[in-house]
Amino acid sequence: MYPCIQPLIVTCKEEQRLSMSEEERLAKKREEVERLRAAEKFIRKDVGKFGCPVCEYVYEPDKGDSLAGIQPGTSFEDLPETFRCPVCRSSKDTFIPKQTVIAGFATNQSYGLGSNALTPAQKNALIFGGLFLLFVLLMAGYGLS
């Protein structure tokens, strides 16, 4: 063989080896991503309300239903079987429970002073409420002098 062609052949073989190891590395990364996706669970918490899937009416036990003569504080389970949606007249068994979703890993839900189990709206209220309280305290400092 010609001496100038030999290094080119070796270089091509080395590139093939590198590309194979890169493919293996990418395959391992894909496996890790799939493992983490399987571990991520979305926790669903019932909020105590039930909604009609047809017309989006929401039965709130705290308010009851004055039109149907249902007292405030009556849970959905205690409603009579003849209860119907006041808007579209769907039966009681078509109602579905309203739930909030908390994203994240189930193993991490207990960490961090309970803040990992909060809904996004609760986290926002906590953060901006703290900022507002800090602002009020700083403004109160100006009032002292």
pLDDT in tens, the chain (145 residues): 455 555 545 455 556 665 668 888 889 999 998 888 877 777 777 888 899 998 988 988 888 887 778 888 888 888 888 888 888 988 888 999 988 877 666 667 667 666 667 777 888 999 999 999 999 999 998 888 6
Please give the structure tokens belonging to residue 35. Answer: 């493992």
115 lies in the same domain as 144: yes
Tell me, yes or no, whether 35 and 60 share the same domain: no
Q: In terms of domains, do 63 and 51 share one?
A: yes
Whether residue 125 sits in one domain with residue 90: no
Beta bridge partners of 44: 101
Its domain, for residue 3, covers 1-39
Kindly provide the b/e burial profile for residues 4-20, where b requires at least 16 CB atoms within 10 angstroms of the residue's own CB.
eeeeeeeeeeeeeeeee
Q: Please give the C-alpha separations between residue 65 and each of 69, 72, 93, in angstroms, as whole numbers.
A: 6, 7, 17
**Are 118 and 139 in the same domain?**
yes
- Do 145 and 98 belong to one domain? no
Q: Token pair for residue 15?
A: 């590139």
Same domain, 30 and 84: no
Sheet holding 58-59, edge to edge: 58-59, 43-51, 96-102
Domain count, the chain: 3
> 98: domain CATH number?
2.20.28.10
As given in the structure block, the two tokens for residue 63 are 């308010």
* 100 and 47 together in one domain: yes
Residues in the chain: 145
If asked whether residues 50 and 100 sit together in one domain, one would say: yes
Model's pTM, two decimal places?
A: 0.49
